[in-house]
Amino acid sequence: MLKNFGTGTPRLNEGIVISGSSDTTALKVYHNVANSYAATVDNDESSGGHGMKITSDGTGTGTYLLDLESASTTLFRFRADGRLGIGVTSPTVKLDVAGSIQASGDLYVDKIRRATDSGTTTKILLNDELIKLYAGHSANNICAIGQNNTVGVDNNFWVSGSIGSKGTATRGTAVFGGDTVVSGSLHIKGGNAFEGVTSAAIILDSTTASKIVWDSADDGNSPDAAIYESGGSLYLSSSNDVRIYAGTDDILLYPKDSLQVIEDENASGNFASFFAQPSDGAYYNVLDVGDTGVTINDDSSANYDFRVESDSNTHMLFVNGGTNSIGVNTSTPGSGLEVNSSFSVKVTPPKTSAYAIAEDDFCVVGDCNSAAITLTLPSATDAMIGRIYTIKRLDSGASGGSNMLTISRNGKNIDGAAGDVLLANLDALMLQCIGASGGWIRIGQFLAPM
């Protein structure tokens, strides 16, 4: 049954017009049947059909176009100023929801802000290829993705302060549960103190062996290089050369005990080499350390000599690579060997009985005061060519000169003769080896003073 509760008159081209006056409700539909709708609006027009239109001359905050209530509680309110509240009776923005929002599709926003914040306080700004996070009621962003300083490029990640890990109050101790991949540069500027170490920039803190690894290709092969600690020792490993380069200053090593360079058991040849670079791209090998010993000036360059300094002499020992000469206490040796200082040779304590002259002897004294003595030369060999012995007969006169000093040739010749040499009034003799076939020759002899 249809009743007109107002003064309006229904017009045919408008369907049914119901108007009210005063505070009365123009149209009220009451229904009290379970599982049945109180009212249905159905426009069966296939094209351009509209369901319901609600208009009002009022546009202020007190004009409500649509209210949905449950037990006198407003669940849904749409105001005439275009604001929609869900669970909110006085929406303050276009959509004001008291509760969670769930979307199965995309959610498009420019800013995400806490409801009680103003336009310059805590928020997340979503812009074209740029995300900024603001906090602490500041207009300055503390974190950004897609910016370099103030210009958003290359999807960079930027944080103005420290990164802290969950469950700790210590700043700058971020903990990541998985891998962190950085496609650009990683710039670490300083650090906090860690277990007595100040300004620690990179900290590897693990109960297992931790490594910093370089790998040029993710191909499943061993890494190209790594730095790691094991058993208190620091290791640098590489599949190729390990190079430490200081472009403008020195490389300083401070060992607490000793600095050791140990060759690998599988290595061969030189395991340490030192090169000089007198000009760009010109390298000269000045020192090699290898299985066969130490080689100085391996490139045979006349420009590189070898010298040993003392406290007061810069050329205590000098090897001139250009002139093939050696100087002691001189930088200009004029001969193959020039000694510009005093020197001493070994003197064997006087012998009172037969004695075989040793390889490391030089001056051998036979004391003939009590008895005649025989000193036997080593058997001359080609390896001994050039060796010199000085043999001295000592006799204070107690024997009357009758005790002879015999120099045994040991099967070789002396001055080409197959016989031993007797020293009586001949006080001293210098012999030099000339090889296995030649034996020995005299290069000096000294008579006792008259």
For 277-308, letters b (16+ CB in 10 Å) and e give: eeeeeeebbbbbebeeeeeebbeeeeebbeee
| Separation between Cα atoms, residue 364 and residue 349, nearest integer Å | 7
Higher pLDDT, 136 or 68: 68
Residue 233 sits at the vertex; the CA angle it makes with 228 and 237, to the nearest 5 degrees, is: 40
* 369 shares a domain with 311: no
**Which one, of 404, 357, 406, lies nearest residue 378 by Cα?**
357
pLDDT at 174: 57
Higher pLDDT, 154 or 183: 183
Of 440 and 282, the structure prediction assigns the larger pLDDT to 440
Query: 380 with 420, same domain?
Result: yes
- Considering 109-123, 316-330, 389-403, 418-432, the range whose residues carry the highest mean pLDDT is 316-330
Residue 129 maps to a domain = yes
Count of domains forming the chain: 4
* pLDDT at residue 190 greater than cutoff 70: no
Whether residue 435 is contained in a domain is answered as yes
Q: What is the pLDDT of residues 348-376, one digit of tens each?
A: 999 999 999 999 999 999 999 889 999 99
Going by pLDDT thresholds of 50, 70 and 90, the confidence category of residue 1 is very low
Give the pLDDT confidence of 127-157 residue by residue, as tens digits.
666 777 777 666 677 677 765 545 445 556 6
Any domain includes 40: no
Average pLDDT, the chain: 81
- Helix H or strand E segment including 64: strand 64-70
**CATH number of the domain residue 375 falls in:** 2.60.120.640
For 327, 339, 341, 383, 440, the CA distances from 313, given in Å and listed in that order, are 12, 14, 12, 35, 39
pLDDT (average), residues 53-81: 85
Same domain, 326 and 354: no
**Looking at residue 12, what is its pLDDT?**
45
Please give the pLDDT value at position 318.
93
Residue with the larger pLDDT of the pair 94 and 113: 94
| Domain presence at residue 417 | yes
- Are residue 321 and residue 374 in the same domain, yes or no? no
Which is higher by pLDDT, 424 or 432?
432
Does some domain include residue 188? Answer: no
Q: Which of 229, 260, 291 finishes a domain?
A: 260
Predicted local confidence at residue 11, as pLDDT: 47
User: 364-408: per-residue pLDDT in tens?
Assistant: 999 998 899 999 999 999 999 999 999 999 887 666 678 889 999
Top-confidence residue, 24 or 94: 94
CB 269 within 8 A of CB 290: yes
Whole-number pLDDT of residue 309: 93
Residue 118 has a CB neighbour count (10 Å cut-off) of 10
Mean pLDDT within 428-437: 94
Residue scoring higher pLDDT (3 or 300): 300
Q: Residue 360 has what pLDDT? A: 93
Task: Check whether residue 321 and residue 362 sit in a common domain.
Answer: no
Confidence bin at 175 (pLDDT 50/70/90):
low
Q: Are residues 392 and 441 in the same domain?
A: yes
Predicted local confidence at residue 214, as pLDDT: 85
- Across 215-297, the runs of DSSP E, i.e. the strands, are 225-230, 233-238, 270-279, 282-290, 293-296
Q: Mean pLDDT check: name the lowest of 133-142, 220-229, 301-310.
A: 133-142
The answer to the question of residue 244 being in a domain is yes
Reply yes or no on whether the pLDDT at 337 is more than 90: yes
Based on the fold, state whether residues 335 and 357 are members of the same structural domain: no
Q: Specify if 11 maps to a domain.
A: no
Residue 161's pLDDT band, with cuts at 50, 70 and 90, is low
Residues 321 and 353 in one domain: no
Domain boundary among 315, 339, 363: 339
Helices (H), 309-438: none
Range in 31-45, 116-130, 236-250 the model is least confident about: 116-130
Which residue range forms the structural domain that includes residue 327?
A: 306-339
232 vs 290, more confident: 290
Most confident of 34-48, 96-110, 360-374: 360-374
In a domain, 118, yes or no: yes
- With a pLDDT cut of 70, the percent of the chain lying above it is 78
Region 298-321 average pLDDT: 85
* Residue, of 256 and 202, whose pLDDT is higher: 256
116 and 155 housed in the same domain: yes
In sequence order, the 6+-apart residues with CB closer than 8 A to the CB of 173 are 164, 165
- Residue that is last in its domain, among 223, 243, 260: 260
Instruction: Find the radius of gyration of the CA atoms of the chain.
Output: 53
Q: How far apart are CA 41 and CA 35, in angstroms?
A: 17
